[in-house]
């Protein structure tokens, strides 16, 4: 199956973003906005956290 | 035609809908509760998203959880698996080779040893963590869908 951590992150973020867009919004434009903001935030924040955690564990 | 227009027919359907039937259908199959309430576009999307999430979980060697008395969190995980409805039976069967929900408590029980070994064979998989995350998220999503169907059926939400 998908072994790439980044690809898993992208797929997971996309599915969660689509799910919440349809759960919380009725207007198609609002849904697209939520998908972009939520999905993008999940990916970008994950990369930032990964970057910050990169030096750990400190030796 | 935009899906907003399609869903404008919903209030009529909702007024004759039972919240409990909607919840049961939502549990039975992701999106079916919304379909029952006339939210067909949403129903199709929810079905697709939860099904893809669940399928990725199973395909990535995610494991269904078993209740173990000494580990309270396994109650939550098993409840979450059950929230996915009958789909849980598939992942449970693929994980354990049978439909089982509770890990036998005694250490010497051969059934317990067999179940633990089946679980360990999943845990050894490289993609186990991904699969488990997908499976648990599919269950959590379906819990939200059940609650959402209830809210729509009772008129708290459009």
Task: Please tell me the total count of domains within chain A.
Answer: 1
A5-24 helix and B40-59 helix, angle to the nearest 10 degrees: 160
Domain membership flag for residue A59: no
Please give, rounded to a whole number of angstroms, the shortest distance from the CA of A9 to a CA of chain B. Answer: 9
Helices (H), chain B: 3-7, 10-15, 19-28, 32-36, 40-59, 73-82, 87-96, 110-123, 128-153
pLDDT digits (tens, 9 = 90+) for B15-60: 578 999 999 999 999 999 999 999 999 999 999 999 999 999 999 9
Structure tokens at B60: 């990535």
Tell whether A31 is covered by a domain: yes
This complex has an ipTM of 0.90
| Residue with token string 């089946």 | B118
Contact B46 A28 (CB under 8 A): no
Instruction: Provide residues of B within 8 Å CB-CB of chain A.
Output: 2-4, 7, 41-42, 45-46, 49-50, 52-53, 56, 59-61, 126-127, 130-131, 133-134, 137, 141, 144-145, 148, 158
DSSP 3-state assignment of B71? strand
Count of Cβ atoms closer than 10 Å to residue B31 Cβ: 25
pLDDT range class, residue A59, cuts 50, 70, 90: low
A49 found inside a domain? yes
For residue A35, is it within any domain? yes
CB contact under 8 A, A12 and B3: no
SS3 B68: strand
3-state secondary structure of B93: helix
Residue A58 lies in a domain: no
Percent of chain B with pLDDT over 70: 90
- List, for residues B93-148, the tens digit of each pLDDT value: 999 999 999 998 888 889 999 999 999 999 999 999 999 999 999 999 999 999 99
- pLDDT range class, residue B1, cuts 50, 70, 90: very low
The Cα-based distances of B33 to B2, B28, B44, B89 in angstroms read 21, 8, 11, 20
pLDDT digits (tens, 9 = 90+) for A4-58: 999 999 999 999 999 999 999 999 999 999 999 999 999 999 999 999 998 888 7
B133, A42 in Cβ contact below 8 A?
Answer: no
Write out chain A residues lying below 8 Å of B137, CB-based. Answer: 12, 15-16
Q: Is the residue at A13 inside a domain? A: yes
Q: What angle do CA B137, A46, A22 make, to 5 degrees?
A: 45
What does the alpha-carbon distance between residue B121 and residue B50 come to, in Å, rounded to a whole number?
25
Q: Is the minimum CB–CB distance between A18 and chain B shorter than 8 Å? A: yes
Other beta carbons less than 10 A from residue A33's beta carbon: 13
Range of the domain at A9: 5-53
**Contact between B141 and A22 using a beta-carbon 8 Å cutoff:** no
Place of tokens 């227009």: B5
Query: Is the predicted pLDDT of residue B11 greater than 60, yes or no?
Result: no
Contact B144, B10 (CB under 8 A): no
- Residue A29: predicted pLDDT: 97
Whether A38 maps to a domain, the answer reads yes
Whether residue B3 has pLDDT greater than 70: no
Substitution target in B134, B139, B151 with the highest count of A β-carbons within 10 Å is B134
Tokens of B109: 């029980």
């Amino acid at each position: 199956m998908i072994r790439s951590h980044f690809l898993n992150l992208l797929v997971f973020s996309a599915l969660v973003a689509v799910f919440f867009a349809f759960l919380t919004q009725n207007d198609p434009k609002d849904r697209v906005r939520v998908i972009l903001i939520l999905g993008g935030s999940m990916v970008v924040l994950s990369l930032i956290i990964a970057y910050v955690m990169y030096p750990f564990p400190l030796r | 035609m935009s899906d907003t227009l399609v869903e404008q027919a919903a209030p009529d359907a909702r007024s004759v809908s039972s919240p409990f039937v909607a919840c049961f259908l939502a549990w039975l199959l992701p999106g079916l509760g919304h379909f029952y309430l006339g939210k067909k576009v949403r129903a199709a999307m929810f079905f697709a998203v939860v099904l893809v999430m669940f399928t990725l979980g199973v395909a990535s060697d995610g494991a269904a959880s078993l209740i173990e008395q000494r580990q309270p969190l396994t109650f939550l995980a098993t409840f979450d698996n059950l929230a996915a409805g009958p789909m849980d039976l598939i992942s449970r069967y693929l994980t354990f080779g049978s439909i089982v929900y509770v890990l036998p408590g005694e250490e010497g029980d051969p059934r317990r040893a067999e179940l633990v070994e089946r679980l360990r064979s999943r845990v050894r998989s490289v993609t186990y963590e991904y699969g488990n995350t997908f499976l648990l998220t599919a269950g959590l999503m379906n819990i939200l869908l059940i609650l959402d169907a209830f809210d729509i059926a009772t008129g708290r939400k459009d």
